[in-house]
A and B are shown apart, each in its own frame.
Chain A
């Protein structure tokens, strides 16, 4: 899967999934 230069590519959804997963991941901060 290669991105097309200059335009939205198939990785756009992968990126959104990844960062949304990061957002929803519970933050495990020790207090």
Chain B
């Protein structure tokens, strides 16, 4: 999967969330918006209290951005493990320094890929999956491959194959 295409497609996906229209990489590098999206996806896990741990108004301080991103990433990894019983050990976690310091599109794509996996597995997954199914086919294909990369390794019991054959 081409990573620029991944990031571009997942930014479009993010725009399906209310109030997230016009989201660009630069809006995401401090982790605040991603934390809010996670709160929207699974408020019982990414609670108001959890959100208070994410510092707003970090400005251009990349160390604070990376600190926020680390909390977001850890929260997501814990969510997969604790809530979804799904291992993502095979998945190369994004380089948060490259996101916080340079807004790297490749790494941002992988970060958004983790959020995507939360959305399509959460209790309210129907609304998120249906929103994806209304997107253009090209974007759907990238999103499908992104989900498969997250789910199809290590014999995950809940894995869904390309054509639903349970590979």
Q: Return the contact of B85 from the options A15, A18, A19, A28 (Cβ within 8 A).
A: A28
Contact B84 A28 (CB under 8 A): yes
**Number of chain B residues whose Cβ lies closer than 8 Å to a Cβ of chain A:** 27
Contact B132–A19 (Cβ < 8 Å): yes
**What is the bound-complex CA distance between A27 and B117, given in angstroms?**
12
Chain A: CB-nearest residue to B125: A27
A11 to B141, CA, bound (A): 8
Contact in complex: B129, A22 (CB < 8 Å)? yes
Q: Please count how many residues in chain A sit with their CB below 8 Å of the partner chain's CB atoms.
A: 21
Contact indicator B162/A18 (Cβ below 8 Å) = yes
Q: A24 vs B102: C-alpha distance in the bound complex, in angstroms? A: 39
Residues of B within 8 A of A23 (CB): 125-126, 129-130
B116 to chain A, nearest CB (A): 11
Q: Are B137 and A22 in contact (CB under 8 A)?
A: no
Interface residues in A6-31 (C-beta closer than 8 Å to B): 8-9, 11-12, 14-23, 25-30
In the assembled complex, 16 residue pairs joining A and B whose CB atoms fall closer than 8 Å, in A order, are A8-B137, A9-B137, A11-B137, A14-B162, A15-B141, A18-B147, A18-B160, A18-B164, A19-B132, A19-B133, A22-B129, A22-B147, A23-B130, A27-B123, A28-B84, A28-B158
